[in-house]
Structure 1
Amino acid sequence: MAEFDDQRGDRQRVRQQIRAAFDRAAEDYDAAAVLQHQVGAHMDERLDLILMQPERVLDIGTGTGRGAERLVQRYPRAEVIAADLAPAMVARARRRVGGWWRGAKVPWRGRRHFTSADLEALPFPAASFDLVFSNLTLQWCDPATAFAEVRRVLRPGGLFLFTTFGPDTLHELRAAWATVDGEAHVNTFVDMHDLGDELVHAGLADPVMDMEYFTLTYPDVRGLMRDLKTIGAQTVTGGRREGLMGRRTLAGLEAAYEPFRTAEGVLPTTWEVVHGHAWAPETTPAQQRSEDGATTVSLDSLRSSVRRS
């Protein structure tokens, strides 16, 4: 029991660190989050291919609310809940989406639409949402815990649409750091095939996974590190050293990154973006579980009741 309590305490501290990092990043986030905005736009395009009109939508990890704004425009009659782990991000989303919502004269229905929420412990009842939308949030979570929570809050036939980062993300920076010291400076990211397995294990059906690569370029390492800090993407690992980077360490990192410089004179950063979606089966989790504890999913009933392109 003591070991379990220690692990739970460690996880809570990690979540607090992540929350604090994104609270600090909120005011300047949009200026640096070019990739996040582009990936969010790609997610919105994918919704063109899915024939559904959800009544209740959750945008978890909404950040400054760009995704929620698109969801409101796409589903004007739906109740859209914009939620984020960081309260400062929720405040930014409220200003962005709330202003659009009132300007568009979309009825508020007297419900709360902005809240702080953790994807690992969603503060919503079971079977609350027809669509859970999550853009580049899962990488800050334990996937098994997050998927179980998504499964719990999805209504039968509901859709989970998400993006996250794959293992090739920031591989140049990881390689450069490896020549400087032996500490963990870059987060490790889960392979999309393992994520697909976790989706099935959580009781979600018909998972579809694919990925795309983005390359962002910088004139120097300082610009990259500045952007990572601005978007709140600091590493949260046991080996992370506290405090500012010293001049000698920065010089070593710059020298180690230099072999990656392209013929155009810029430093590339690779981002592997994993896209995934899965569906909640037409039965509730309680109905799925047999007496021996096994979980079954009827894909035929799912396909017959949910229209897809």
Structure 2
Amino acid sequence: MNGLFDGRQVRRAFSRASSAYASAASLQHEVEDRLLEMLDFLALQPGRGQDWTPARVLDLGSGPARGAQAMRRRWPRAQVIAMDLALPMLRQAGVGRWHPLRRPLARVCADARALPLADDSLDVLFCNLCLQWVEDLPAVFAGFRRVLRPGGLLLCSSFGPATLHELREAFAAADAAPHVNPFTSIAEFGDALVQAGFRDPVLDRDVQVHGYASMGALMRELRAIGATNALAARRRSLTGRRRFAAAQAAYEALRPAGGPLPATWETITAMAWAPDHGAPMREGDAEIARFPARGIPVRRR
């Protein structure tokens, strides 16, 4: 596979993690809850009071659909779609108890880079900690703009470049092969949103340091949530005992006296609005305007 990530490995890792993900992904749930709280801003938008209900909502990279279920409770009459690259993750998504006013949850196995949705078909696109697995962020945001109706809301999050820098540096002391994904900075994230034409973007950055008993404990947690090395340039053979021991020794040097090993997690959250048709997207030095084909008048002879 050409490119930064091996998509098949990403799918395999999250498929294997599907049964353990819900109980292991505490940080993912915390960031997801912050995104869900941002939905309260909808009530402040003109024409969108507390009673406003979107017609169609997408939870992209949904995993076992925790966010999708929360939005279905919030908007019981909306069509809520849980979409994930890993089919076993979607199979873990409980459909919930039947409710006479609540539409069933739709589950779709698909790739964020090629959304199988019609133009202008979404009112809300919610995407929690999925975009760090995408190498061409402007292209994905252009796809988001395509499926969102003008004025539709995009809520998304990703990891920033400080994430797991301790683990990256520890493995760098052992060999030259990449072991930790590179992550997009908040400035690059905002630029990609603007390049795709999204308006009024609001971005936030949060940094947390978690403690682990050992490097092995951190790596077991990463495997439990599917966050393993999926770089196309990764070493295909197992990390040998000598290299792993060297990485452990380098990581242990970061342990504070009497404390746990530190692991940094930088999260970026963003809220933005899809523009009206015809608003330009930037491609290099050019600005490209997009119009729906149905809006172009056809003269019949």
Which TM-score band applies after superposition, normalised by the shorter structure?
0.7 to 0.9
RMSD: 2.2
1:121 aligns with 2:114: yes
Preserved contact between residue 80 and residue 113 of structure 1 (Cα < 8 Å) = yes
Amino acid corresponding to residue 241 of structure 1 in structure 2: R
Distance (whole Å) between structure 2 residues aligned to residue 264 and residue 99 of structure 1: 45
1:188 aligns with 2:188: no
1:108 aligns with 2:103: yes
1:227 aligns with 2:224: no
Distance (whole Å) between structure 2 residues aligned to residue 170 and residue 203 of structure 1: 31
Preserved contact between residue 148 and residue 274 of structure 2 (Cα < 8 Å) = yes
Structure 2: segments with no counterpart, 5+ residues: 291-301
Distance (whole Å) between structure 2 residues aligned to residue 10 and residue 235 of structure 1: 16
Identity %: 44
**1:296 to partner: Cα distance:** 6.5
TM-score by structure 2 length?
0.86
Residue 31 (structure 2) aligns with: 39
**1:246 to partner: Cα distance:** 2.5
How far does the alpha carbon of each residue in 1:218-273 deviate from its partner, in whole angstroms, 9 at most, with x for none? 10111111111121111222331123332222211111101221344211110000
1:99 aligns with 2:96: yes
Amino acid corresponding to residue 224 of structure 2 in structure 1: T
Residue 203 (structure 2) aligns with: 209
Is 200-209 or 270-279 further displaced after alignment? 200-209
Residue 298 (structure 2) aligns with: none
1:136 aligns with 2:129: yes
Cα distance, 1:255–1:289 mapped onto 2, change above 3 Å: closer
Amino acid corresponding to residue 71 of structure 1 in structure 2: M
Residue 10 (structure 1) aligns with: 2
Residue 63 (structure 2) aligns with: 63
Distance (whole Å) between structure 2 residues aligned to residue 214 and residue 37 of structure 1: 14
Amino acid corresponding to residue 134 of structure 1 in structure 2: C
Amino acid corresponding to residue 117 of structure 2 in structure 1: F
**1:180 to partner: Cα distance:** 0.9
Preserved contact between residue 209 and residue 274 of structure 1 (Cα < 8 Å) = yes
Greater helix fraction, Structure 1 or Structure 2: 1
**1:289 to partner: Cα distance:** 5.6
Distance (whole Å) between structure 2 residues aligned to residue 238 and residue 72 of structure 1: 37
Amino acid corresponding to residue 13 of structure 2 in structure 1: A
Preserved contact between residue 2 and residue 232 of structure 2 (Cα < 8 Å) = no
1:262 aligns with 2:259: no
Distance (whole Å) between structure 1 residues aligned to residue 102 and residue 273 of structure 2: 28
TM-score by structure 1 length?
0.84
Preserved contact between residue 165 and residue 263 of structure 2 (Cα < 8 Å) = yes
Which of 149, 157, 169 does residue 155 from structure 1 map onto? 149
What is the aligned length? Answer: 278
Preserved contact between residue 211 and residue 275 of structure 1 (Cα < 8 Å) = yes
Amino acid corresponding to residue 20 of structure 1 in structure 2: R
Structure 1: segments with no counterpart, 5+ residues: 1-8, 298-309
Residue 25 (structure 1) aligns with: 17
**1:188 to partner: Cα distance:** 0.4
Preserved contact between residue 197 and residue 280 of structure 2 (Cα < 8 Å) = no
Preserved contact between residue 145 and residue 198 of structure 2 (Cα < 8 Å) = yes
Preserved contact between residue 193 and residue 209 of structure 1 (Cα < 8 Å) = no
Preserved contact between residue 60 and residue 117 of structure 1 (Cα < 8 Å) = no
Q: Secondary structure at the match of 1:168?
A: coil
